[in-house]
Amino acid sequence: MVEVKLHDIGEGMTEGEIVSYLVKVGDPVQSDQPLVEVQTDKMTAELPSPTTGIVKEILVKEGTLVPVGTTILIIESGQTKHVQQEVTVSSNRNKVEKTNRMILAAPYTRKIARELGIDIEKINGTGPAGRITDEDVYNYGKKAVEPMAAPIKEVIKNAVESDEIPFKGRRKQIASLMSKSLFTIPHVTHFEEVDMTNLLDCKQQCKEDGINISVAAFFIKAIQLTLMKYPIFNSVLDEDHGVIRLKKEYNIGVAVDAEDGLIVPVIRNVEQKTVKTIHDEMKIAIEKAQNNTLTKADISNGTFTISNVGPLGGIGATPIINYPQTALISFHKTKKKPVVINDEIVIRSMMNLSMSFDHRVADGATAVRFTNEFVQLIENPTRMLLEMT
C-alpha cells in the first residue's frame, strides 16, 4: 500500500484545501497521473500519483482543509500488469462507458467543466498530446446547452437566494498570510507623489515606434535599480539566526487581481532584463494568474513586491507586506493636476505611491531616500536608461 500525502507544493505552504478528486476508489492509475486538485494560498495544483496501482481508499472529503503531511488517499501498488491489461481491454472493446485514458487538463480547465456541469472525460482534447483546453470545454458546452439550461438556472437561483460566501480556499489562505504579516511585521507606510508626465511621453514614443511597453514594466526596472542602491529593502529578516539576509537576485513580484483572489507571480532576475523583456514576461505571468495556471516556480522566491492598482483607481492605501519580504510599493491612480514648476503653474500627470516597509529592518529616513531615488528615475526616464548601462 502507498499513502499519498499532501506535500509542500508552494513556497512555505502549511495546509491546502482538497478541491476535487480526479479518480475514484477502484480506478487504475499510472505513475505521475493526476489524482487530486489542491488549492493553496497561491495556486491550484494537481498532485500526481507516486506509483502505478489501484485506488484503494479515499480518506479526505472534497472541500476539506488539511495540513501538509496528511494522508489523502491510499493506492494498492504492484498492479502494473493488471492496469495495463484493463487499459488494453477498454481501448479494444466497447463494453464499458468510460475508458481508462489519462485526462490531460489544467486545474482551471477542470474548474470550468465542473461549473458548467460537464463530464470532462467525455471531451476530446485538441491541445498537445490530446490535452483538453478551455475552448474545448466551452465548445462541448455549446452542444449541450439545452439539457444544461435547467441545472444552470437552479445554480443561479440558489446563488441569488443565498447571502453566504464560503470562506475557504485561496481567500482563507490569503487571510491567514495577511494576518501573519500584519501581526509579525511592524508596518510603516510612507507616501510620495510622482510626476509621470515624462515617462508617459516616453511610453507614447515607444508605441509610435511600434514597441508597446506597460508603465508597470518601467516601474519594475526602476525598483530594481533603486534596490541596488538600497539593498536593505531587498532582504529577509531571519530572527532565529539574528541576521538580515540581503538577496543578491532581484525577483519582483507583481500582485494580480485574479478571479480566485490575489496572487503574486514573480519576474525573476530583473537586473538581467530589459524593460521590453520585463513587459513580455509580466504579460505572460498575468495571463497565467488569471487563468489559474501558475506553477510553483512562477510564484516562488520573490524578493520585493509591487501592486499597481492605478488602473482601478484610488489615491492611496496602506498595503500589507508580502511576508517574509521587507517592503511593498503600491502605485495609485494617475491624474492631471496643476503643479508649480519654476514658479509657474503647469498641468502635469501626477501619481501617488504608498511604500510599506518592515520597521525592524529599515528606518523611515532610509525609506524616504529609497522613494526619492525611485521618483528621480521615473521622472527622468533618460537617467533610468543611463543607470542600465
- Of 199, 235, 193, 190, nearest to 219 (Cα)? 199
- 8 Å CB contact between 373 and 226: yes
| CA neighbor of 133 nearest in space, from 103, 98, 91 | 103
41 or 268: which leads in pLDDT: 268
Q: What is the mean pLDDT of the chain?
A: 84
CA distances to 205, 214, 234, 362 from 298, rounded to whole Å, are: 31, 20, 19, 28
The model's confidence at residue 101, banded by pLDDT at 50, 70 and 90, is low
Domains of the chain in sequence order? 2-102+144-161 (2.40.50.100), 187-388 (3.30.559.10)
Q: Residue 9: what pLDDT?
A: 67
Average pLDDT over residues 194-202: 96
CA separation for the pair 123, 116 (Å, rounded): 13
- 231: pLDDT strictly greater than 90: yes
Query: pLDDT: is 140 or 352 the higher one?
Result: 352
Question: Cell numbers at residue 69, please?
Answer: 503531511
Phi-psi region of 292 (alpha: psi -120 to 50; beta: other; left: phi over 0): left
- Using DSSP's 3-state secondary structure scheme, residue 305 falls into strand
Residues 6+ apart with CB under 8 A from 47: 4, 6, 7, 9, 34, 35, 36, 37, 38, 72
d(CA 333, CA 194): 11
Give the residue with greater pLDDT, 145 vs 300.
300
Instruction: Tell me if 310 sits within 8 A of 216, measured CB to CB.
Output: no
Q: Which of 190, 241, 332, 359 is flagged as catalytic?
A: 359
Higher-scoring residue by pLDDT: 237, 33: 237
Burial readout 17-53 (b: 16 or more C-beta within 10 A, e: otherwise)? bbbebbbeeebbbbeebbbbbbbbbbbbbbbebbbbb
pLDDT band per the 50, 70, 90 thresholds, residue 134: confident
* Short-list 82, 73, 13, CA closest to 47: 73
The overall pTM is greater than 0.75: no
Half-sphere exposure of 124 (CA within 13 A, CB side): 0
**What tens digit of pLDDT does each residue of 61-80 get?**
988 888 888 999 999 986 44
pLDDT tens-digit map of 266-321: 999 999 999 999 999 999 999 999 888 888 889 989 999 999 998 888 889 999 99
DSSP 229: H
pLDDT at 82 exceeding the cut of 60: no
Q: Would you call 332 a catalytic residue per the annotation? A: no
Helix (H, G, I), strand (E, B) or coil at 162: coil
Per-residue pLDDT tens for 164-190? 766 766 777 777 778 888 888 999 999
Residues 6+ apart with CB under 8 A from 356: 187, 188, 189, 190, 318, 319, 320, 321, 327, 328, 329, 330
Section 327-355 average pLDDT: 96
CA distance readout (Å), 261 to 21, 174, 257, 264: 22, 8, 6, 10
- CA dist., res. 69 & res. 167, Å (int): 23
Which residue from 353, 377, 355 is spatially nearest to 275, judged by alpha carbons? 377
Question: Does residue 57 have a pLDDT over 60?
Answer: yes
Q: Are 54 and 100 in contact (CB under 8 A)?
A: no
What number is the average pLDDT over the span 344-362? 96
Q: Which three cell numbers stand for residue 203?
A: 511610453
309 Cβ contact list (under 8 Å, min separation 6): 317, 330, 331, 332
Q: Where are the alpha helices (DSSP H) in the chain?
A: 80-92, 107-116, 134-143, 145-161, 169-184, 197-208, 215-229, 275-290, 296-299, 364-379, 381-388
